[in-house]
Amino acid sequence: MKKILIVCTGNSCRSQMAEAWIRKFSGNQVQVFSAGTHPEKVNPVAVKVMQIECVDISHHKSNLVDDFKDVDFNFVITVCDDAKEKCPHFPSVAKKIHKSFPDPAKAKGTDAEILETYIKVRDMLKSYCKDFLQHELGINVNENIFTWIEIPVLDFSRAKHFYESLLGFPIHESRIGGMQHGFWGHTANQVGGAIVKGEGVPSQKGALVYFDGGNDLNNYLQKVEKLGGKIILPKTLIAKEIGNYAIFLDTEGNRLAFWSKN
């Protein structure tokens, strides 16, 4: 199994997100680690923007790159210029790749503007990690057509306790778009999702399964109607950092949804 190390200065944001993307897209076909030349605590905003993508890095810890000097990596990827200069020597078998990404921790402006910067860097890393796996390792990256499961709840604390106890993994609270969310992350064997409480949640009982609407949500909605389904909520913005969704009934009366960033 190929071993990959991703390095940045603090191992708090960019390298952590890249590690998570490669682990997700590889389906655990590689061993991936991340480290920093001067490690710091994992950035909470990075955790938040990855949660939006159903990827949980809240359990990640920052590592010192020197601790990996004796590991025979196949690839060492530096994602910032400072890390490239200060990264220690690794055995010659390791292919060194440098791809610099902006440091979102240096972003200035309103909270919304700073969050948008983190999202842009997250998406840049996502695209790069897909390309790396496909071109360097020949791993075909196919994201799940099912992207998300949403469970509307009346009592958030009660539901959080129920699902954490039932499923055996932590649920992380966040408020987005005026709604209270409890996220769990996507893994190779598990679709991400959330328990949700708020006025924006449809009143019907039951879980809501989201399909990936790609970049052309309206096209999918037209297909639904042509095939005999019914649109019950047209394309609607959830929140700028999340994207749009639409809810429909299939020909059997099941309530389903599409999600799209655009």
> What does pTM read for this prediction?
0.63
Q: Computed from CA positions of residues 106, 112, 117, 121, in that sequence, does the dihedral angle turn out positive or negative?
A: positive
Q: Is the pLDDT of residue 200 over 80?
A: no
pLDDT at 213: 77
CATH superfamily of 146-260: 2,3-Dihydroxybiphenyl 1,2-Dioxygenase, domain 1 (3.10.180.10)
Q: Computed from CA positions of residues 23, 25, 31, 33, in that sequence, does the dihedral angle turn out positive or negative?
A: negative
Q: Is the pLDDT of residue 7 over 60?
A: yes
List 13, 54, 80, 129, catalytic entry: 80
pLDDT at 75: 95
List 13, 54, 87, 129, catalytic entry: 87
What percentage of residues in the chain have a pLDDT greater than 70? 90
> What's 3-137's CATH class?
alpha beta
- Mean pLDDT (whole number) for 231-244: 84
Tell me the average pLDDT of the chain: 85
38-42, 93-97, 143-147, 213-217: lowest mean pLDDT where? Answer: 143-147
**Tell me: the pLDDT tens digits for 20-66?**
999 988 877 899 999 999 999 999 999 999 988 878 898 999 999 99
Residue 175: both structure tokens together? 């408020």
Domain boundaries, the chain: 3-137, 146-260
Q: Is the pLDDT of residue 127 over 80?
A: yes
Judge whether 151 and 179 are in contact, CB under 8 Å.
no
**Tell me: the pLDDT tens digits for 66-113?**
999 889 999 999 999 887 777 777 766 889 999 999 999 999 999 889
- Mean pLDDT (whole number) for 237-250: 82
Q: How confident is the model at residue 244 (pLDDT cuts 50, 70, 90)?
A: confident
Q: How confident is the model at residue 141 (pLDDT cuts 50, 70, 90)?
A: confident
DSSP state of 199: T
Q: Is the pLDDT of residue 19 over 90?
A: yes
87 catalytic per annotation: yes
pLDDT at 144: 58
List 8, 13, 54, 129, catalytic entry: 8
80 catalytic per annotation: yes
Rounded to 5°, the CA angle 82-91-94 comes to 70
CA dihedral 29, 104, 185, 83 (to 10 degrees): 30
54 catalytic per annotation: no
Strands 208-212 and 146-152: antiparallel
In angstroms, the CA 262 to CA 260 distance is 5
